Amino acid sequence: MFKEVHTIILDYDGTLHDSTKNYIHAFKQAYAYLVEAGHAAPRDWEDAEITKWLGYSSKAMWENFMPDLDESVQSKASKMIGQILLEKAQTGQAVLYEGALETLQALKLKGYRLVFLSNCSRAYMEAHRESFGLDRYFDGMYCTEDFSFIPKYEIFESIRAVFPDDYLIVGDRFQDIEVAEHHPVRTVGCRYGFGFPGELESADALIDDIRELNDLL
């Protein structure tokens, strides 16, 4: 199915990086600020209610989560989340899924070009690049902030201009899989990530562990 693939474009959070614990902590801190400032009512959160926002750009997250909140307040809360996540990465508290780096290394040794594509800020991307030595594995690294948070399927045009076809997209959310609705690419959906049932149904293949990707290719 994937024998013509030369370039593999990988999502990060929910695909390579298990951001569950850190994101939940950051979200709750930001929501506590909103409550204290009188912008939101106190409430308890289920983990799944929080992690469902992983995979969204910060802009899209706030547009869907609290669309009526003043943009300046959205921005402050968003920056709080981003800063906490950044500090977690900078202090060695970020965690990759077991076998993630080994899988990247195995794919690189097979001759694939690997590209990082995440709905994240440049500072977040750079912190993880540094923390995990991602330059050893990725031939290119792209974050949506550098493209004003446009959808991944639009950023794909920039990747296609640099890296050879055919392409395989690997990710856990609809934002990854929908690239195939706009471009002739193959897709692998990661069921262990943060997506909801149905988000990955159009993927060409599904995996339950990042290490299974090496077996597919």
Q: What is the pLDDT of residues 4-43, one digit of tens each?
A: 999 999 999 999 999 999 999 999 999 999 999 999 999 9
Question: Do you find a cis peptide bond into 172, omega within 30 degrees of 0?
Answer: no
C-alpha to C-alpha distance for 19 and 84, rounded to whole angstroms:
12
pLDDT value, residue 57: 84
Q: How would you classify residue 14: left for phi > 0, otherwise alpha for psi between -120 and 50, otherwise beta? A: left
**Neighbour tally for 84: CB within 10 Å:** 17
Those residues of the chain that have pLDDT short of 50 are none
Domain 7-18+96-216 sits in CATH 3.40.50.1000:
yes
- What pLDDT is recorded for position 82? 92
Q: What is the pLDDT of residue 191?
A: 96
pLDDT value at residue 196? 87
Domain ranges of the chain: 7-18+96-216, 20-90
CA dihedral defined by 144, 147, 150, 156, rounded to 10 degrees? -80
Question: Dihedrals φ, ψ of 5, to 5°?
Answer: -70, 135
Residues 205 and 43: beta-carbon distance below 8 Å = no
Q: pLDDT over 70 for what percent of the chain? A: 100
Residue 186 neighbours by CB distance under 10 Å: 18
